[in-house]
Amino acid sequence: MTSKQRFLKALNNAAPDRLPVTTHHIMPYFLNTYMKGISIQEFFDFFQLDPINWVDAAKPDSSNADYLNSHGFLCSPEWRISREKIPDEQYNTFRYNILTPTKNLSMIIQGNDQTEWVKEQLIKEKSDIEVFARHAPCPICDVNKVNCDVEDFGERGLIRGTVPGFDIYGQPGCWQDAAMLYGTEKLILETFDDPQWVHTFLSILKDRKMNYIQSMKGAIFDLVELGGGSASSTVISPTIFEEFVAPYDAELIEAAHTAGQKIVYHTCGGMMPLLEIIADMNPDAMETFTPPSLGGDTDLKEAKKRIGDKVCMIGGFDQSLYLKDCSPDKTIEAVRRCFAEAGTGGGFILAPSDHFFDADVACLKAFADEAKKCVYN
């Protein structure tokens, strides 16, 4: 099988010729620090992993006079973004100022060589969501770009996209996007103090994402990501998930299916109390099945038993213990253990449970080579 055929077979919850083996986002820090700055696709070639091509397909809706500014952010005549650097001895720090006819908003993002994070959220007062809803432009899908990339990539591997979050700093799922815009802890507290406001906020974000998903019709993605770690069971309770996460993201999954797209629901963190709830939202795949050593709670064998007949499972490999500071023999044992626990009957794609910044090249080679020996009869 080609890598693409192998991925698609697993996504259909069946057994390909062998275990598909890949990784999530390849971090520039890893490529620059350990691989002499090679490209993402050169990384896949070097390790002979099954490749993924992530396609960023969001574009402005020109019919609404939306445009990208000089920093690449979505703007409109009523939503203008400027950026200013803030002096900071430790981190790269930028303030994004947003000018609207109603009220000016701002957001501060910090970063280092490895990653970025939100220092100051966009939504500071509850009424700010009304400003956001009234003026923030919505992206649409560049179907032609997706399909050109599909043609260029061919049978090489999986074409994967995402439901866009807020473009300065956001995430695919409704709850996850809200957590980035308002703050995770504050959002959790508001589910008790002002649940109607939270529902209103989530509805605003759902409508934005729905607009994008409906524009995806005709785009030949293989898989599109929804969800996010702030909706994991190590962050929120199953009760909050059932009331404030599932109804909104399930509606988006249904719309994605109507638009001809397959959805993977991403939950980096705890998953075990949520397995059936997420599976009942009807995604085509679930990830990342993070082990306890990485802050998750996954029992891979138990997860396979409970939902393995409903969805494709992606992830499950412990990159903290078996891609760094261990012998390749330990890596090989971990690969075999994952295959034994979740590979039976297919419907499993082996990958680290989310991205990594540091890894030993010898362990990565052992990870890829051993997975290719995990064959189906």
CA distance 23 to 39: 14
Q: What does the pLDDT read at residue 133?
A: 98
pLDDT (average), residues 244-249: 98
User: Please, what sign has the CA dihedral across residues 254, 24, 369, 4?
Assistant: positive
| Share above pLDDT 90 across residues of the chain, in percent, rounded to a whole number | 99
Residue ranges per structural domain of the chain: 3-61+138-371
pLDDT digit string (tens) for 138-165? 999 999 999 999 999 999 999 999 999 9
pLDDT digit string (tens) for 2-48? 999 999 999 999 999 999 999 999 999 999 999 999 999 999 999 99
C-beta atoms surrounding 361 within 10 Å:
12
pLDDT (average), residues 308-322: 97
pLDDT digit string (tens) for 330-365? 999 999 999 999 999 999 999 999 899 999 999 999
User: In the 8-state DSSP scheme, what is residue 363?
Assistant: H
Helix (H) or strand (E) holding 257: helix 246-258
Q: Compute the chain's Rg from CA coordinates.
A: 21
Residue among 211, 257, 179 nearest 58 (CA): 211
Check whether 377 has a pLDDT greater than 90: no
Residue among 204, 179, 180, 202 nearest 189 (CA): 179
CATH number of 3-61+138-371: 3.20.20.210
Q: What does the pLDDT read at residue 204?
A: 98
If 0-12 CB within 10 Å is exposed, 13-18 middle and 19+ buried, where does residue 273 land? middle
Mean pLDDT (the chain, rounded): 97
